[in-house]
Amino acid sequence: MKGRRVLVTGLGLVSPHGDDPERVFEALLQGRSAIGLWGRDELPPVVVARAPFAPEPWFTKLQLVGTDRVSQMAVAAAESARADAHWPDKLDPERVGIFIGSGMGGATALDDAYEALRLQRRMSPLSVVAGMTNAPAAHIAMRVGVHGPVYTYSVACASSALAIAEAAKAIAAGEIDIAIAGGAEALLVPGVVRAWQALQTLATPDLVEPGRSCRPFDVSRSGLVLGEGAAMLVLESHEHALARSAVPYAELAGSGVSCDASHLTKPHSQGQVRALGNALRSSGLAADDIGYCNAHGTATLVGDAVECESLLHVWGDSIAGLRVSSTKSMHGHLLGAAGALEALITILALNRRQAPPTATCRNLDAACNIPIIGESAEELPNLRAAISNSFAFGGTNVVLAFTRVD
C-alpha cells in the first residue's frame, strides 16, 4: 500500500461465538460451531448463527428507543475495539474516521414496520432512522465524537471488507490518522430469512447435527447459513501508533478490489483473480509470501469451486504453500459484517500463527482441489502474511492482505 503504513491496534466484536476475540478464536480452533436450528413457527426449518448479545451494558433504556439491533451491535463492537486499542483521550476529531459496512441495515426496524402495515397497526415514527443503512456508523460517530469522514459501504457480502480497505487508504494517504473500520449485520428476522429461503441458497438443515449444516468445500455442501454480529478494527498510521506506544496486532499491507460485472449472484473467476492480483501488488507481496487464506467459502456449490479456481490461477505452482479454510463453517455468513469478522480472525491467525479449520469439511470436493484445512486446526510456525477474501453478490470482490509486525 502506497503512503503511510497502516497498523491494526484494536479488535472488537459481537459474534455467534461471543464477544471476546481471543475466546472466539479458541472456539474456532477447536472447531466449535455456533450454528443451530431457529425455532420460529412461521418459518420452514432453518439453521442460523445467532449472536448471544444483550445491549444493556452499552445503552440506557431511553437510548434503545429507535436503535436497531444492528446499530446496538455495531456500537458494542466499536467500543470494545476502542478499549482494546487503549484509544487516546486527546485526538483531533477531524483526523478520525468511521468506515462501516452493512448489507441490510436495520432489518428489524423495517421488518417491524412492514408487519405493522400488514396488520394496520401504528408504525413507529423512528422506523426510518432505525432502519437506514448508515445508522450504525452515525451511532458510533456520535459516541466517539468524530468530525472526520463517516462512511457507510453497502456491497452485499463485501461491505465491511471494503470499509476496512477504504479506511486504510485514507490513513495511508494522510487524510486521517486513526479510524474505526468494520461492519455489522442483524438480519435474522422472519421477512429477511423467508426472502433468503426463496432465493434457494440456504443450506439444507441437518436436523441430527445442526452445527454441521454449513459445509464449505465438502462434496455434500448444500448452501450458506445466515449469521449476525459485528466486528470492528482500530486502524492507525504507523507514526501515530508509535507516538503513543500502541502495540499492533498486524499491519494491513494492502487490498485489492474489483467487480465481475457479469452476473448478480453467480461469481466470476476472472473478477476474483483481478482482486487477488490487486491485493498482491498493493501490498508488495508475492503469492508465495502468503501462508494462509481465510476464504469466502460460503458452501454454495458454484461459489466454492470458483473461489478455488481463482486461488489456483493466481498461486499456480505455489499453491502447495497456501493453507485455506472457511470459518463460515462455524459462525455462518454474516453478509455485510462477514468481511470484518473474517479479517479479525485472519489477524489473530497471523498473530498466533495458528489457522482455524473448515470444521465441517470431511470429504473434499474434487472441484475444490487446493490445500484446504479440514476438520482440525493447523500450526503455521512460519506464517508471515495472510489474506481474507470477500466475494459478493453484485460482483464486488475485496481481498485484504495482512502481515506480521515483529
Distance from C-alpha of 320 to C-alpha of 297, rounded to nearest angstrom: 19
139 as an active site residue: the answer is no
Distance from C-alpha of 98 to C-alpha of 86, rounded to nearest angstrom: 17
What does 315-366 look like in DSSP terms, one character per residue? Answer: HGGGGGG-EEE-THHHH-B-GGGHHHHHHHHHHHHHHHTEE---TT-SSB-G
157 as an active site residue: the answer is yes
Tell me whether strands 250-259 and 396-403 are parallel, antiparallel or unpaired.
Answer: antiparallel
**Among residues 296, 308, 331, 361, which one is catalytic?**
296
Distance from C-alpha of 124 to C-alpha of 192, rounded to nearest angstrom: 19
| The three three-digit cell numbers of residue 230, written as one number | 459485528
The alpha-helical segments, DSSP class H, found in 34-158 are 61-64, 69-84, 107-118, 127-131, 135-144
Distance from C-alpha of 343 to C-alpha of 277, rounded to nearest angstrom: 18
Task: Write out the H or E segment, with its range, that includes residue 390.
Answer: strand 385-391
Q: What is the DSSP letter of 51?
A: -
Distance from C-alpha of 48 to C-alpha of 46, rounded to nearest angstrom: 7
333 as an active site residue: the answer is yes
**Among residues 17, 139, 157, 268, which one is catalytic?**
157
CB 302 within 8 A of CB 7: no
Identify the burial level of 216 via C-beta atoms within 10 angstroms of its C-beta, where 0-12 means exposed, 13-18 middle and 19 or more buried.
buried
Distance from C-alpha of 206 to C-alpha of 45, rounded to nearest angstrom: 10
**Among residues 240, 333, 361, 368, which one is catalytic?**
333
Distance from C-alpha of 125 to C-alpha of 270, rounded to nearest angstrom: 46
Helix %, strand %, coil % for the chain, to 5?
40, 20, 40
Residues designated as active site: 157, 296, 333
